Structure 1
Amino acid sequence: MTHDVHIIGGGLAGSEAAWQIAEAGFRVKLSEMRGSGDMTPAHQTDGLAELVCSNSFRSDDADRNAVGLLHAEMRALGSIIMAQGDVHKVPAGSALAVDRDHFSAGVSAILLAHPNITVVRERVDVLPANGLTIVSTGPLTAPGLAESIGGATGAAALAFFDAIAPIVHHDSIDMSVAWMQSRWDKGETKDYINCAMNKEQYLAFHTGLMEGEKTEYKEWENVPYFEGCMPIEVMAARGVDTLRYGPMKPVGLDDPRTGRWPYAVVQLRQDNASGTLWNIVGFQTKLKHAEQVRLFRTIPGLENAEFARLGGLHRNTFIRSPELLDPTLRLKSRPHIRFAGQITGCEGYVESASIGLLAGRFAVAELRGETLAPPPVETALGALLHHITGAAEAETYQPMNVNFGLFPPISGRTKKADRKLLYTARAREALAGWIAA
C-alpha cells in the first residue's frame, strides 16, 4: 500500500498519530522495529503501545489535576490510547491504571485491522529524505536513527535516565500483614495494597538503600535523572525523611492493627486485570537484582515476595525541541519531518500519546491543504505543546510532565483552593472553542 504519512515508531505516540491520520481517511505506513529481530533494552514484547515502566496513566480527576484534564481533552478528540485505557482499566483509586498486556493487545488489534494502516516490522536507520514523516521512536531510539537525527538537527540529542519499578506476584504477599486501602479512601474501592513500617524498620530500610550494591553506568556519567521517575535510592540520598514525604508517605492510610497512620508505607498497585501482578509504587531502582530481592523482602508483608520483574534503569534520549521544532512539531531544518512523543522531551505515557495526537492532526491538516492552529495555551494540550516548542530555554530544557505550572496564570485574585477548578474550567471553554473552529 502506498502511504500519505510514514510514522517511525509504534509506541504510544506513534500509535495515536497513526489512528488520528487513518481515521481522517489518509494512509499510514507505521514502521516498528520490534518484531523484526530488534528489541530495546526496556521493551519485552513486540506489541504496539507497550507500557514499559508503570501501568498507571496517573490521576483521572479532570477537575483538579492537569493530567486528568489532559485525559479529558484527549477523549474529546477521539484518542485510541484513552479509549483502550478505559476498556482495560484496573482498580487504582482516583487514578487510571491499565492491564498493560490487554491494553497493548487492544491497541495493536485495532491498528493492525485498520484498512488505512500498514504496520511494517523494520528498523529505520536514516530519516526519510522526503514525504510527510512523523518520528515517534521514543527515548530508546536505535543508534543508527539517533545518529541520523543528530545530523539533521545539527545538535546531539540530550539524555536522561529513566527507571523501572519491580512487579510482585500477588499470591506471595502476606495479606495478614498488609491491607487494602486507597489513600484518604479515594475511589469506590480499596485499590492499593499497603505495607506499614515503624520507625526502626524504615530507618533500617533507608540504610539498606544507601548501602546496597548498585549497577554502575560509568559510560553515562553526568547524565541527569528525570525528577518524575527517580530511583528510590537517589531520593533516599537527599535525606533520611525524603521517602516519607514521597513514595513512602503514610498520610491518609490507617493501619487496621493500630487505627493510626504508620511511620511509613510501601504501596503496591494492581498491574494486570486478573490481579495476579502488583507493582511497587515509586520503587524505580538501580540496585542490583540480588540486592533488590534481599532488601524488598525486609518490607513487612513482602518477606516471601516473588518477583515477576525486578527494577532496572535505562538511558533515554530527547531533542532540544524548543530550538528545533516549529509550533506544529515540524523540524525546522527539514519541515517534512515531525517529531512526537517522549523524544520531544515530554514525560509520561499520556503526555507522549497527546503529542502523537497533535502531530497526527497537524499532518492531516497539511494533507488537506489547511492550517491547523495549535490548541490554546489555556488547555492542557496547548500548554504542553507550548512548553515543548517554545516556552523553555533550549540549553536548560528537561523532560516534564503536564502540570498547571505550564498554564498561563489565572488573572485576578483567587483563592488557592479554587485555582485548580478555575484552570480546568477555563481549559474546557478554550478547548471547545478550538474544536468548534
Structure 2
Amino acid sequence: MTKELHIVGGGMAGSEAAWQAAEAGASVVIHEMRPKVETFAHKTGDLGEMVCSNSFRSDDHEQNAVGLLHWEMQQAGGLVIDTAYKHRLPAGGALAVDRDAFSAEITRRLHAHPNVRVSHEEITALPEDGQWIIATGPLTSAALGSAIQQETGTDRLAFFDAIAPIVYADSIDMEQAWLQSRYDKGETEEERRAYINCPMDKDQYEAFIDALLAADKTEFHEGETAGYFDGCLPIEVMADRGRETLRHGPMKPVGLTNPHAPDVKPHAVVQLRRDNALGTLYNIVGFQTKMKYGAQASVFRMIPGLENASFARLGGIHRNTFLNSPTLLDAQMRLRSRPHIRFAGQVTGVEGYVESAAMGLLAGRMAAADMLGQPLPEVPQDSAHGALIHHITGGADARTFQPMNVNFGLFRPVDGLKGGRRGRRDRYKAYTDRAKAAWSGWLTAQMEPA
C-alpha cells in the first residue's frame, strides 16, 4: 500500500505543505472540513481562502523581512507566492491580491496535481500512526483543539484576531475621497494611485473617536482571558489606548495630498485598499474591529466619503489558537510526544499569511523527505525561513512565547555593521544578502544526489 502524507487544513500552510510534498514526489491527502463543516469567518470551501486581509504585506526583499520571505518562497517553487504574484493588485509597495481569484487558483492547482487528493471530512482526533501535518490555523475545530490540548497537557494558548470590513467601490464618494498611495509609492501610475483616501479634519476625527469608543462591541465569554495580537489590534482597542493612537497608526495623514483641497492638510486619513481585480471592492486598511454589525455601519459612515457606504462584508473577531511550540515541537516541527505528527502555520506561533505558508513549505518538505528516505539538510538559520523556525522551536522563551511576524530582530547579527538608524539600510541589506545566499545553498543541496 502506498504511503500517504495526511494534511489537516487547507489554508495557507496546508496548501503550501501539500504542494511542496507533492512536488517532491509524495502522495498527499488534504483533509479540509469546509464546506461540510463551516466556520464563522470562511465564506467558501476553497483551499487557501483569505479570511482577514488580502495583503501579503511588503514585497521589498532587500529592506524588509517579509519581502525576503516572499523571495525565498518564490525560489523554492512556492504555490502560495506564485499564485499571489499572478493575481496581484496595485498596492504601492505591498503585495495585495484578488482574494477570490487567488483561492480559486490554489484550489484548481491542488486538485489538478496527480499526487494530491482532497477529502472534506472533519478530523476530530490526533491520529495514532502514519505521517501527518496539522495546519488547521486560527479556526481549529473544537473537537480537534480539545484533542491537541489533551495530548500536550497544557492550557490552550490563544489570542484574538479581528477582521476589517469591505466596501463596495461605487458607494464611495470620490468628490471627497481621492486615489493616491502614501508618498506616491509605486513604479506605475496605477500603483501610485492604489489606495482610496478619505480625509478628516480635527472635529470629524474627535467625533469619530467618541463614536468608536461608545459603540456596542462583541463581548467575550465569562472567564475568557485571551488577549490580542499586537499586529492586528481592533481599532477600538487602539483608540482606547489614547485618542491620538489611530492618528499615528492606520489613520496617519503623512505622505498624502488631497487634490480637492491641496492647501489643507488633513488631521487624519482613512485608507482603503483594492480587494479584487475588478476594483469593485475595497477593504478599510487597519480597521479590524470587534464592533457589533449595526454599530459598524453607523460609525464607519461617519468617515468623509463613506456616508453612503455599502458593505460587502462587515468586520468581526475570532479566536486564534496556537501551541507553546518551544516546549512541544522539535526542530523538524514534530510533536515531541508523537513524532509522526508535524504542525505548520499559525498554530505553531507564527502570525500572518506569509509566515503561515512559509512554515507549511518547510513542514511539507520535511515530511516528504522522511517518507521518501531523502535526508533534508538543516534549514539555515540565517535565512528568513530558518530565523522563523528557530524562533518557534527553541529560540523563543517558552514562558513568554507569543505569536510572531518575521522581522530582522529574529536574525543573528551581521558582524562589522554599525547600529542606529543611519546604519539600518546597510544592516538590512546585509541580512538579506546573507539570507539569499544561505537559502540558495540549501535549495541547491537538495538537488544534489545523496
TM-score by length of 2: 0.95
- Structure 1 residues 2 and 396: alpha-carbon distance in aligned structure 2, compared to 1, 3 A threshold: same
SS state at 2:228 partner: coil
User: Are 1:252 and 1:261, in contact at CA under 8 Å, matched by a contact in 2?
Assistant: no
Counterpart residue number, 2:165: 166
Counterpart residue number, 2:196: 193
How many Å apart are 1:260 and its aligned residue?
A: 5.3
Residue 279, structure 1, aligned to residue 279, structure 2: no
Which residue among 406, 420, 442 is the counterpart of 1:434? 442
Counterpart residue number, 1:369: 373
- Structure 1 residues 48 and 219: alpha-carbon distance in aligned structure 2, compared to 1, 3 A threshold: farther
**Alignment length, in residue pairs?**
436
Counterpart residue number, 1:331: 335
Q: What letter corresponds to residue 65 of structure 1 in structure 2?
A: N
How many Å apart are 1:154 and its aligned residue?
A: 1.9
SS state at 2:162 partner: strand
Q: Which has the higher mean CA deviation after the structures are superposed, 10-19 or 425-434?
A: 425-434
**1:127-276 equivalence runs, <5 A:** 127-187=126-186, 188=188, 189=191, 190-219=193-222, 221-256=224-259, 257-259=261-263, 261-276=265-280
Q: What letter corresponds to residue 355 of structure 1 in structure 2?
A: M
Q: What letter corresponds to residue 99 of structure 1 in structure 2?
A: D
SS state at 1:125 partner: coil
Counterpart residue number, 1:77: 76
Counterpart residue number, 1:32: 32
Cα distance between partner residues in 2 of 1:144 and 1:73: 35
Counterpart residue number, 1:12: 12
Cα distance between partner residues in 2 of 1:137 and 1:3: 22
Cα distance between partner residues in 2 of 1:220 and 1:19: 40
Identify unmatched segments of 5+ residues in structure 1.
none
Counterpart residue number, 2:21: 21
How many Å apart are 1:381 and its aligned residue?
A: 0.6
Divergent runs of 4+, >3 A: none
Percent pairwise identity? 60
Residue 403, structure 1, aligned to residue 412, structure 2: no
Q: What letter corresponds to residue 18 of structure 2 in structure 1?
A: A
SS state at 1:109 partner: helix
SS state at 1:218 partner: coil
Cα distance between partner residues in 1 of 2:222 and 2:117: 38
How many Å apart are 1:410 and its aligned residue?
A: 2.1
Which residue among 303, 308, 323 is the counterpart of 2:307? 303
Identify unmatched segments of 5+ residues in structure 2.
446-450
Cα distance between partner residues in 2 of 1:93 and 1:156: 42
Counterpart residue number, 1:102: 101
**1:88-99 equivalence runs, <5 A:** 88-99=87-98
User: Are 2:161 and 2:317, in contact at CA under 8 Å, matched by a contact in 1?
Assistant: yes
Cα distance between partner residues in 1 of 2:88 and 2:161: 24
Q: Which has the higher mean CA deviation after the structures are superposed, 301-310 or 146-155?
A: 146-155
Q: Which has the higher mean CA deviation after the structures are superposed, 22-31 or 369-378?
A: 369-378
Query: What RMSD in Å do the two structures reach over aligned CA positions?
Result: 1.2
Q: What letter corresponds to residue 347 of structure 2 in structure 1?
A: I
User: Are 1:244 and 1:264, in contact at CA under 8 Å, matched by a contact in 2?
Assistant: yes
Q: What letter corresponds to residue 247 of structure 1 in structure 2?
A: P
TM-score by length of 1: 0.98
Cα distance between partner residues in 1 of 2:12 and 2:3: 20
Cα distance between partner residues in 2 of 1:301 and 1:341: 38
Q: What letter corresponds to residue 215 of structure 1 in structure 2?
A: T
SS state at 2:52 partner: coil
Q: What letter corresponds to residue 436 of structure 2 in structure 1?
A: R
How many Å apart are 1:368 and its aligned residue?
A: 2.6
Cα distance between partner residues in 2 of 1:139 and 1:349: 11
How many Å apart are 1:220 and its aligned residue?
A: 5.7
User: Are 1:3 and 1:29, in contact at CA under 8 Å, matched by a contact in 2?
Assistant: no
User: Are 2:344 and 2:363, in contact at CA under 8 Å, matched by a contact in 1?
Assistant: yes
Q: Deviations over 1:176-210 (max 9, x none)?
A: 11000001111122100000111111111111111
Q: What letter corresponds to residue 27 of structure 1 in structure 2?
A: S
How many Å apart are 1:127 and its aligned residue?
A: 1.1
